[in-house]
Structure 1
Amino acid sequence: WIVLCMGFLSNFLTWGVTFSVGVLYAEWVSYFGAPMGEVAFAGGIPVAVGCGLDITGPIYGILINKLQIRTCGIIGGVTMCLGLSVSYFARNVITLCITFGVIAGFGCGLASLASCSIINKYFLRQRTLAESVCGSGLSAGVFAMSAVQRYIISEYTWQGAMLIFGGICLNNTVIAMFFIPPQKLNISEVRPSKESNNEIGITSICNTDCLNLRILIFTELSFFKRSIGLYRNITFLRLITSHFLGWLCLFIPYVHLVERARLSGLDENTSAWVAATIGLAGFTGRPITGAFFNYAEVHPRIAYALIQILCGISVAVSPFWSNKIGLFMFAAAFGFLSNGYGLIKASAAVMLGCNKFVDAFSWMLMFEGLGVLLGPPMAGWFYDVTQSYDWGFRVAGIGLIISGLIL
């Protein structure tokens, strides 16, 4: 349980900083004076790289297999600290994309994968419970980081905030010291959950050691041969299309909502609390929706589709919620409903079978990173053309609805 707490704190620091980028984004827009679509790239790159987009996935796997989990967790914390701290010297968006985006994003992904890996080693029967606890660290981190970012920026500027958050994320090195693999694992403990017809049972069986998954799928030639068969499978095509559309649109409010609130007339401190509301609502919404669908024994595919459609509706109609109360209501609704990630993993396992889950999930990770990379700039470009966030959020909402309907 100490390892579980450390996993929660790791997600709190890594994803809490990267998903609360909306407050920093508002500062970057005014500081660099660049088009919003261009600045938004810097906000999306760290999450895209952390998701394992392109070549970073196998690199994470190689490092963890060669250097062990604890060492890689320490390296990830140091790298993220370095990327954030060096961002202090960024004088243009391109430099920020490299320091905050690539370097800090790589450290974030490595530290996160180390946390995921050690949790999978310790929790065999209760893996889904453990993953839920760790996953809630993201929402708690978004709430806390968004709440304090505005104060830090007002006192020390955004450059000083990067140094401070770099120091905070250096605590990942201390957290990683607790990532000591168990000496002996009783193989008899690895057996299907009693709740094998829902998300909990499926992820317990199919969400195997993710570091072995990363290295396996990218180093074996047979992976690409098997992938040919996957891309001929209409069910798989529906899954990756839905997943890509979901992440193309889902990350947009995380990046742009603070700036949208500021342009709607809210002061900077209040705008930052709009972002914090997303984190607080997500922290409460994740266990509530999970418990509801589990109790009702809803198929994960149906649960995911319902969550995506409701979330999409809230985003699509959000341009009508342009006042202070409306923006906070939207942030609460979006945060509460933006937790379908575990459901689509379970859906993939049910719809494709556990024997195809590893290969399918690897491709889903790639499209997830691609969606995160392209979504925020897309909304920024809509603003540059229309001088309004309305159409960017409408398109994002429609995309989320289509994502749910496809599946």
Structure 2
Amino acid sequence: MKNPESYKYKWVVLLSASLTCSLTWGLAYTIGLFYISWVDEFDAGNGEVAVIGGINTGVSCLLGFGFGLAYFGASLAVNKYFIQQRTFAEGMATFGSGAGGFGFTILSQYLIVTYGWRGAMLIFSGTALHIVVLFQLTFSPDQLDYLKLNWKTPNATDKSSELGYEVSNKDDSDLASVGSDDKIEIDDEREVQFFRSNDPENRTWLRRCTGMFRNPLFLLMLFTEFLCWIAVYVPFVHLPERARLLGIDATTVTWIASSISLSMCFGRIAITGICSALKIDPFYAYGFVNVVSGLLTVFSPFLTTKDGLLCYAIFYGLFYVSVPLIRASAASLLGADVFSMAYGWIVAISGVGLFIGPALAGLLYDITGSYDATFYASGACLIACGTMVAFRNKAKRIQDAKMTADVIYKRYEL
């Protein structure tokens, strides 16, 4: 198999993925300004209205259609073409989220003032249709044989995926490790044939999922992502309203909201570039940026001026790099061959967090009459998420032990 990184077309795929992110998450990041309009329009509690913000992104993550399907497909395409440069490529792909968030936030304020929030949503709906055009560029026509679109197609790693690790041999050196940085070499031809079994039962979706959920590293990622997404989207939804309640004018509120996305652009390129150049484990980097984001959020209630909130928005966006880092982590730690399944579950658990996070944050405001508790709680969740990464090596040791035990068991069973 030719190394996919040698294809020049990968840069077209990367550009398409970045633009897709701008039309999915970029549009989603404008929710804060619409939130202000909905609070005024419906005269409802902040917690009740904030549910809309969670539905906007939570449904797309949980069910894989609409923005979720487009974003997920773009993620898979990038990971197929970039291996050695995966972390940096993920940063470049998600750069579009920040760029889109900045541009669309500025535009949304103009559209809401000019056409109302309903008219603005109609215009953004038409804009989002351009995703269809971008996906025509996602796959190179001459590479369709390599990028298997039929998920039922048998492959050599199905059985190993069920067990949570991968078996390699001399003729198949391109397979990625699942749950370990090292491959397990097995010379016994019978065992190789066992793992390459064509038994349809061994390739069922349920059995493969069972294998994934036996992997402690995978479970650790799920838990950290759940904590992350309870909190990470809260500033996008609630910071503009908090700024307005502090008496800040509408124009400045717009710039505060858009500053998160603008600084996100630079942060995702800079931090993922550093990780790639210095070969820093993306999962450790994921923990670091979440701890920093959490600390910034915990101290943000002490910032009550427009300059203070603007500084918070800039630095929060600068360290909001969790999305490309968790994607790179899933591919490198769990294996590129099961990335689509693993990341699908990660996105789904993120959707659960997105459903409840903004709503709980709004409910805290309704109960306390202040956004202080909202940002304290959100910051605490992000700090907890980041510190959980410290269990990475312990989870890996447990997984290595399970791998060894499974290989020994299968050897004597055969």
TM-score norm. by structure 1 comes to 0.73
Distance 1:191 1:138, change over 3 A: farther
In the alignment, structure 2 segments of 5+ residues that lack a partner are: 1-10, 147-171, 183-200, 390-414
Q: Answer yes or no: is 1:27 the counterpart of 2:9.
A: no
Count of residues paired in the alignment? 333
Greater than 6 Å deviation, 4+ residue runs: 190-193
Tell me: CA distance 1:362–1:13, structure 2 relative to 1, closer, same or farther (3 Å).
Answer: closer
CA distance, structure 1, for counterparts of residue 381 and residue 309 of structure 2: 20
1:249 paired to 2:231 = yes
Change (3 A) 1:276 1:174: same
Cα shift at 1:26: 0.9
Q: Percent identity?
A: 38
Contact 1:121 1:181 in 2 (8 A): no
- Deviation of 1:353 after TM superposition, in Å, equals 5.3
Match of 1:18 in 2: 28
- Aligned residue in 1 for 2:411: none
- Asked which structure has the greater CA Rg, the reply is 2
CA shift, 1:148, in A, is 1.6
Q: Is the 8 A contact 1:120 1:127 kept in 2?
A: yes
Q: Please, which of 260, 265, 277 is the counterpart of residue 242 of structure 2? A: 260
Question: Is it true that 1:169 corresponds to 2:147 in the alignment?
Answer: no
3-state SS in 2 of match to 1:317: helix
Match of 1:111 in 2: 70
> SS of the residue aligned with 1:265?
coil
The structure-2 alpha-carbon separation of the partners of 1:166 and 1:305, relative to structure 1 and needing over 3 Å to count, comes to same
Q: Please say if 1:377 is aligned against 2:359.
A: yes
Instruction: Compute the displacement of 1:166 (Å).
Output: 2.0
Give me the whole-angstrom Cα distance separating, in 2, the residues matched to 1:176 and 1:297: 31
From the superposition, tell whether residues 309 and 113 of structure 1 become closer, same or farther in structure 2 (CA, over 3 Å). closer
Residue of structure 2 in register with 1:392 after alignment: 374
Measure the CA separation in 2 of the matches of 1:362 and 1:242.
15
1:31 Cα deviation from its structure 2 partner: 0.5
Distance 1:108 1:387 in 2: 34
Q: CA RMSD in A?
A: 3.1
> In structure 2, what is the Cα distance between the partners aligned to 1:235 and 1:3?
29
TM superposition shift of 1:8: 2.4
Q: 1:293 — aligned with what?
A: 275
Offset from partner CA, 1:63-103 (integer Å, 9 cap, x none): xxxxxxxxxxxxxxxxxxxxxxxxxxxxxxxxxxxxxxxxx
Q: Which amino acid aligns with 1:110?
A: L
Provide the secondary structure at the position in 2 that maps to 1:298.
coil
Q: 2:305 aligns with which of 319, 323, 332?
A: 323
CA deviations 1:360-384 (Å, max 9, x no partner) are 4332222111111111001000011
- Once the two structures are superposed, residues 303-333 of structure 1 have per-residue CA deviations (whole angstroms, 9 ceiling, x without a partner) of 1111111110001111011211110010011
In structure 2, the partner of 1:36 is 46
CA–CA distance in structure 2, aligned partners of residues 350 and 170 of structure 1: 33
- Secondary structure in 1 matching 2:259: helix
Quote the residue 2:141 is aligned against: 182
Inter-CA distance 182–117: structure 2 relative to 1 (3 Å threshold): farther
| Match of residue 101 from structure 2 | 142
Q: Which moved more, 1:303-312 or 1:174-183?
A: 174-183
| Distance in 2, Cα, partners of 1:107 & 1:25 | 21
Which of 290, 314, 323 in structure 2 is aligned with 1:308?
Answer: 290
Shift of 1:286: 0.6
What amino acid sits opposite 2:300 in the alignment?
S
With 37-46 and 170-179 compared, the bigger mean Cα shift is at 170-179
Contact 1:121–1:182 (8 Å) recurs in 2: no
Give 5+ residue unaligned stretches, structure 1.
58-105, 203-218
Once the two structures are TM-superposed, the CA of residue 350 in structure 1 deviates from its matched residue by 5.0
Tell me how far apart the structure 1 counterparts of residues 338 and 78 of structure 2 sit (CA, whole Å): 23
Could you say which residue in structure 2 is the equivalent of 1:67? none
Structure richer in helix, relative to its length: 1
The aligned residue for residue 322 of structure 2 is 340
Q: 1:231-260 CA deviation, whole Å, 9 max, x = no partner?
A: 455443332111100011101111111111
1:130–1:289 CA distance, 2 compared to 1 (3 A): closer
Change (3 A) 1:133 1:355: closer
| Cα distance change of structure 1 residues 176 and 36 upon mapping to structure 2, 3 Å threshold | same
Match of residue 6 from structure 1: 16
Task: Pick closer, same or farther for the CA change 1:309–1:14 going to 2, 3 Å.
Answer: same
How many angstroms does 1:161 deviate by?
1.1
Contact residue 123 and residue 130 of structure 1 kept, 8 A:
yes
CA contact (8 A) 2:233 2:358 kept: yes
